[in-house]
């Protein structure tokens, strides 16, 4: 971060407008709790409204219509997007210096674009193709025949098995393994015979993959991650899965083999889907849930097995009502017994 900014300069960056002092000087961005006089903070989640009121921030980024009396505000149509823009403006990313470290291993048959950076103890195998400005972190391994598009970065220790293809502008974090063997065995008697896993992993452009996530190669053909999909840490994507563009897969979610997921799917934390399913566009799967059957476009589901979210909520309410139902049942039994007794007496009388 090189210099101070005026609040109205930042408003121009994000196409927003200032309520209050347009000349307010902004040195950085900080959370509501930690911001001081020279910081811009942000109120994008209503549950932090009190923190916003109590914050010592010099100015606060808000959505249209949000009022914080006595505050300098920067109003933006999409405040979360504006926050991203401001952070990029104040903290432009530092790229590693181009060049191949003396301590790296790069096969002679590898072809490197302009401005590639390869750090110590990285390995770039035979016949690899790296696009311009690709950055290979320390200890990362790019197996034989891999192709990586321009401006993609591999963080320390990421591993691409042979034949993996990664598009442009991707970010592959540490510990990610792309192209490990799918979990495929033919069981005969008591023996699980390995089925050779001969396919590959293809990651399209603008994908981010979080730390220690594993995406397995297909048995044949491809495991494919669509353009602009973002995958969190410790996620598992099994062999032959296809994930459409624009998806969000939160931490520790998992997709079993050969399942096909449409565009803009959201899988929340620790959720999963069984294998060989067709899951539509725009689906949302709640945290901890398990999709065990095909799912239509725009399905919003929860539970194990996952059902429509409304159905799930109703069933939760019913489950909570169970103690009361049992009590009512006992009362009813008593009333019926009383009626029977009474009728019996009447019949006798």
Stretch 132-171 residues interacting with a second copy (CB under 8 A): 137-139, 141, 143, 155-157, 159, 161, 171
Among the residue ranges 16-24, 65-73, 128-136, 329-337, the one whose residues contact a second copy (CB under 8 A): 329-337
Residues in 34-63 at the binding interface with a second copy, rule: CB under 8 A? 34, 45, 47
**234 touches a second copy (CB under 8 A):** yes
Q: CA-CA distance, 89 to 155, in Å (whole number)? A: 23
Q: CA-CA distance, 254 to 316, in Å (whole number)? A: 24
Please check whether residue 238 is in contact with residue 225, taking contact to mean a CB–CB distance below 8 angstroms. no
Task: Please report how close the Cβ of residue 114 comes to a second copy at its closest, in angstroms.
Answer: 24
325 phi and psi, to 5 degrees? -60, -40
- No. of H helices and E strands in the chain? 5, 40
Residues in 193-222 at the binding interface with a second copy, rule: CB under 8 A? 193-196, 198, 208, 210-214, 216, 219-221
Residue whose CB is less far from a second copy, 203 or 250: 250
Cross-strand bridge partners of residue 186: 193
Task: Please report how close the Cβ of residue 206 comes to a second copy at its closest, in angstroms.
Answer: 8
Contacts of 344 (CB under 8 A, 6+ apart): none
Residues in 246-265 at the binding interface with a second copy, rule: CB under 8 A? 246, 248, 250-252, 254, 256, 263-264
Residues in 176-195 at the binding interface with a second copy, rule: CB under 8 A? 177, 180-181, 183, 185-188, 190-195
Residue whose CB is less far from a second copy, 22 or 89: 89
Residue whose CB is less far from a second copy, 75 or 216: 216
Among the residue ranges 11-19, 58-66, 67-75, 116-124, the one whose residues contact a second copy (CB under 8 A): 116-124
Annotated active-site residue in 91, 173, 192, 239? 239
Q: CA-CA distance, 322 to 33, in Å (whole number)? A: 43
**String of contacts with a second copy for each residue 62-101, x by CB under 8 A:** ----------------x-xx-xx--xx--x-x-------x
Q: CA-CA distance, 20 to 326, in Å (whole number)? A: 60
Task: Please report how close the Cβ of residue 343 comes to a second copy at its closest, in angstroms.
Answer: 6
Q: CA-CA distance, 112 to 98, in Å (whole number)? A: 11
Residue whose CB is less far from a second copy, 70 or 348: 348
Task: Please report how close the Cβ of residue 3 comes to a second copy at its closest, in angstroms.
Answer: 17
3-class DSSP state for residue 101?
Answer: coil
Q: CA-CA distance, 331 to 333, in Å (whole number)? A: 5
Task: Please report how close the Cβ of residue 18 comes to a second copy at its closest, in angstroms.
Answer: 20
Neighbours of 236 (CB within 10 A): 17
Please check whether residue 54 is in contact with residue 31, taking contact to mean a CB–CB distance below 8 angstroms. no
Among this protein's residues, is 173 annotated catalytic?
Answer: no
99 phi and psi, to 5 degrees? 130, 155
User: What is the set of active-site residues?
Assistant: 239
């Amino acid at each position: 971060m090189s210099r101070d900014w005026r609040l109205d300069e930042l408003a121009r960056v994000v196409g927003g407008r200032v309520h209050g002092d347009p000349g307010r000087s902004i040195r950085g961005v900080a959370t509501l709790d930690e911001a001081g006089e020279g910081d811009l903070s942000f109120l994008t989640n209503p549950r932090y409204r009190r923190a916003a009121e109590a914050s010592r921030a010099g100015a606060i980024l808000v959505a249209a219509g949000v009022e914080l009396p006595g505050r300098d505000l920067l109003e933006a149509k999409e405040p979360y997007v504006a926050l991203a823009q401001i952070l990029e403006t104040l903290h432009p990313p530092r790229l590693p210096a181009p060049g191949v470290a003396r301590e790296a291993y790069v096969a002679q048959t590898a072809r490197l674009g302009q401005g590639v950076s390869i750090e110590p103890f990285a390995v770039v195998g035979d016949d690899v193709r790296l696009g311009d400005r690709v950055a290979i972190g320390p200890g990362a391994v790019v197996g034989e025949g891999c192709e990586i598009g321009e401006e993609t970065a591999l963080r320390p220790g990421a591993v691409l098995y042979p034949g993996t293809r990664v598009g442009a502008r991707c970010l592959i974090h540490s510990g990610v393994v792309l192209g490990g063997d799918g979990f495929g065995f033919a069981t005969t008697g008591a023996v699980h015979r390995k089925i050779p896993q001969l396919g590959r992993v293809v990651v399209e452009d603008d994908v981010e993959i979080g730390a220690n996530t594993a995406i397995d190669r297909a048995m044949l053909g491809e495991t494919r991650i669509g353009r602009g999909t973002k995958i969190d840490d410790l996620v598992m994507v099994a062999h032959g899965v296809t994930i459409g563009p624009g998806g969000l897969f939160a931490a520790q979610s998992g997709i079993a083999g050969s399942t096909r997921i449409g565009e803009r799917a959201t899988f929340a934390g620790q959720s999963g889907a069984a294998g060989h399913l067709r899951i539509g566009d725009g689906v949302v799967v709640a945290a901890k849930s398990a999709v065990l059957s095909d799912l239509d476009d725009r399905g919003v589901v929860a539970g194990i097995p996952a059902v429509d979210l409304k159905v799930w909520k109703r069933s939760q309410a019913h489950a909570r009502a169970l103690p009361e139902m049992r009590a009512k049942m006992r009362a009813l039994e008593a009333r019926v017994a009383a009626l029977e007794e009474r009728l019996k007496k009447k019949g006798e009388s």
